[in-house]
Amino acid sequence: MINFDSNICTDFSAASSREWLETNGIGGFASGTIAGSNSRRYHGLLTAATKPPLGRLTVVSKVEDTVTIDGSSYELSSNQYPGNVQPRGFEYLASFRLDPFPTWTYVVGGVEIVKRVFMIHGRNATAVTYTAKSKSRGKKPTAAMTLRPMLSFVDYHHLRRETSEFNGDYYTNNGTIEIRPIADMPTLFVSHNGKGVEKTGFWYRDFEYAIEKERGFDFQEDLFQPFEIAFDLDKSASVIFATDGDLAFEEVADFEKLEVKRRKALVKKAGARSDFEKQLTLAADQFIVKRGEGNTIIAGYPWFSDWGRDTMIALPGLTLATGRPEISRNILIEFAKSVSEGMIPNRFPDEGEIPEYNTVDATLWYFEAVRTYAESTGDLQFVRENLYSTLAEILAWHLRGTRYNIHLDTDGLLYAGSPDVQLTWMDAKIGDLVITPRQGKAVEIQALWYNALMTMADLAQQFGDEDDRAKYLSMAELTKQSFNATFWNEDEHCLFDVVDNGNRDASIRPNQIFAASLHHSMLADDVARKVVDKVESELLTPVGLRSLSPRDPAYRPIYIGSPFDRDSSYHQGTVWAWLIGGFVDAYRRVYPDREQRVDEILEGLRIHLLEAGVGQISEIFDADPPHHSRGCPAQAWSVAEVLRVMRKA
């Protein structure tokens, strides 16, 4: 499905704006652009997760690859330097495809050269292979290749600059090179089938990264080039970069076959029907990683770790919609271990410190993840034995009050927040400036709270606990009555966004869609239809929902510029792809006979697979047309929600 011809590949602007991603199932990744140049600080051939799934270090930034054919040399790589792109290997590109790995086909000097990059699952290791075949009918050209690794050895959020502390010495033994430029970082093992290694020891200075520049960050980097490896291309050239031990280059073909087989099995297990579903299934797998003995979900590549909110929202689409309930179980158990004062973590920090709990909705989405798991698998025994008491404890903490002023008010509605902390998913804050204040009773929090209570009532009934069932039903009924009396905005025929001490925020935002979309809804069908119509008319775009109506004076249509500029627009209009899931659920509820319209709603995101992060769905988009993609080029809940609603069709 993902295949670009020379029209895209030889256009530097088009090719350098499309990014590829490989992951290893433990938090490490490799990424870059199809042009061969890096445009982010996060692009790298090997970003290792030294404390899976975190502790990420970018070790190898890229390789410079030069092929020599009958004495003439051709550089296949590309780099952006100040005012210049050099070399210009993208001009030799005939195609790029995911097959299933990133695969480049170059045609130079009468020879076709195919380059493939893949990560070895479960290892901090990236393999790069080259094969060549003659395009000529006459004498077969003589072809050789030189690879020059470019090293960074830096925390993946940072940029490398030239330093005398970088040790370029290396050790070679039986086809493996070992190098450790920074004393407190891992050793890099480079296994290869080259015919010779020659010391170089050069710094390449002032690589420019266009996306970092656009985002208002430092955008220049220096990289160290310690040696070059020479290969004959009468056979394939192979190299493996690894930080967790030496991997023999002779095993490259076996590693590749195993990974192809693993990915084919994922597609088969998911029962994916269309090319769209097949690609989303493979995209979904890239977010599922190991944490301890269990699993978790990386919120987005390249810079997010595992977040509680994102994990719970993404879990049904990434695991249940792909036929992997065992992963779902592992994740639910893993987060249950981290419940504290009735809350699941908001985030596991990169540095591995104690989790952060500054969220009100992540814990409520946990209930929906459990409900969806039980509905999908029928495995109530697992829920009863492992989760039910934890869920009951969570509700008890919310009743009596927990962190950040989260408590149940006397009207049965859930209050959360204080002026100095953001607890909902609209959490942008710059210093002490809260961009989207939502302290009080937020609309989606009430919808999630009611859904959690009704989920517990259903489980209590299944488990024969009539007293708890009656208690939860009584609480839910009070919530429902108060919600409908408090949140209806008669002037706009939709729901208020936040209610706090008699003040009602009439901003037209997408949060209200969850009151109509969740399994247990407090809205009558006619009211739900009005909410859907309002959201469709003011917030729906081809790639998701706007976070604020264009009619609002605070609307910010473009997400670009400095961190301050971007945070100021993050939830003030910016389109979020993940919200399409809730919208489609609500739309199907109120318009059950319009499935063709649902296909039309999802079409823009199918097309998006060929843009930005190829084969993936971005985090966010500009609010105004043409809706340029922004933020992470690969976002878990974006992929998950599209996949989930597609599989429900």
Same domain? For 613 and 491 the reply is yes
pLDDT of residue 29 exceeding 90: yes
Residue that finishes a domain, picked among 234, 261, 288: 261
More confident residue, 113 or 138: 113
Same domain? For 255 and 126 the reply is yes
| Dihedral (Cα; 360, 365, 370, 372), 10-degree rounding | 170
Phi, psi of 369, deg, nearest 5: -65, -40
pLDDT of 1 reads 73
User: Domain for residue 531, yes or no?
Assistant: yes
CATH (domain of 483): 1.50.10.10
Domain residue limits at 386: 271-647
Mean confidence (pLDDT) of the chain: 96
pLDDT of 153 reads 98
CATH (domain of 146): 2.70.98
Same domain? For 257 and 275 the reply is no
Q: From the CB of residue 50, how many other CB atoms can be counted at a distance below 10 Å?
A: 18
Quote the CA–CA distance of 143 and 634 in Å, as a whole number. Answer: 37
Convert the pLDDT of each residue in 565-615 to its tens digit: 999 999 999 999 999 999 999 999 999 999 999 999 999 999 999 999 999
Taking CA 296 as the corner, what is the angle to CA 294 and CA 297, rounded to the nearest 5 degrees? 160
pLDDT of 174 reads 85
The closest alpha carbon to 285, from 640, 619, 2, 613, belongs to: 640
Instruction: Tell me how far apart the terminal alpha carbons of the chain are, to the nearest angstrom.
Output: 21
User: Domain for residue 104, yes or no?
Assistant: yes
User: Which of 18-27, 38-47, 344-353, 355-364 is predicted least confidently?
Assistant: 344-353
pLDDT of 350 reads 64
Convert the pLDDT of each residue in 86-119 to its tens digit: 999 999 999 999 999 999 999 999 999 999 999 9
Convert the pLDDT of each residue in 226-239 to its tens digit: 999 999 998 899 99
Tokens of 220: 């220049």
Q: Are 587 and 594 in contact (CB under 8 A)?
A: yes
User: Which of 26-30, 204-208, 289-293, 440-444 is predicted least confidently?
Assistant: 289-293
Same domain? For 229 and 302 the reply is no
Convert the pLDDT of each residue in 471-485 to its tens digit: 999 999 999 999 999
Q: Stretch 141-169: mean pLDDT, rounded?
A: 96
Query: Which of the 8 DSSP states describes residue 316?
Result: I
pLDDT of residue 324 exceeding 80: yes
Same domain? For 58 and 37 the reply is yes
Same domain? For 121 and 215 the reply is yes
Q: What share of the chain is helix, strand, coil (3-state, %, to 5)?
A: 35, 30, 35
User: Domain for residue 337, yes or no?
Assistant: yes
- The pTM of this model reads 0.96
Quote the CA–CA distance of 194 and 375 in Å, as a whole number. Answer: 54
**What confidence category does residue 649 fall into, taking pLDDT thresholds of 50, 70 and 90?**
low
Convert the pLDDT of each residue in 486-495 to its tens digit: 999 999 999 9
Same domain? For 278 and 254 the reply is no
Residue that finishes a domain, picked among 231, 261, 291: 261
Convert the pLDDT of each residue in 373-412 to its tens digit: 999 999 999 999 999 999 999 999 999 999 999 999 999 9
Convert the pLDDT of each residue in 160-175 to its tens digit: 999 999 999 999 988 8
The one-letter code for the residue type at 647 is R
User: Domain for residue 528, yes or no?
Assistant: yes
Q: From the CB of residue 287, how many other CB atoms can be counted at a distance below 10 Å?
A: 28
Q: What is the 3-state secondary structure (H, E, C) of 459-517?
A: HHHHCCCHHHHHHHHHHHHHHHHHHHHHCEECCCCEECCEEECCEEECCCCHHHHHHHH
Same domain? For 286 and 245 the reply is no
Same domain? For 468 and 529 the reply is yes
**Number of domains forming the structure of the chain:** 2
Quote the CA–CA distance of 192 and 127 in Å, as a whole number. Answer: 10
pLDDT of 152 reads 98
Q: Are 581 and 588 in contact (CB under 8 A)?
A: no
User: Domain for residue 98, yes or no?
Assistant: yes
User: Domain for residue 266, yes or no?
Assistant: no
User: Domain for residue 238, yes or no?
Assistant: yes
Burial of 350 (C-beta count, 10 Å sphere; 0-12/13-18/19+): middle
User: Domain for residue 216, yes or no?
Assistant: yes
Same domain? For 228 and 323 the reply is no
pLDDT of 5 reads 97
**What confidence category does residue 82 fall into, taking pLDDT thresholds of 50, 70 and 90?**
very high
Same domain? For 203 and 288 the reply is no
Assign residue 192 a region: left if phi > 0, alpha if psi is -120 to 50, beta otherwise? beta
Quote the CA–CA distance of 23 and 475 in Å, as a whole number. Answer: 44
Same domain? For 232 and 340 the reply is no
Q: What is the CA radius of gyration of the chain?
A: 26
Residue that finishes a domain, picked among 235, 261, 287: 261
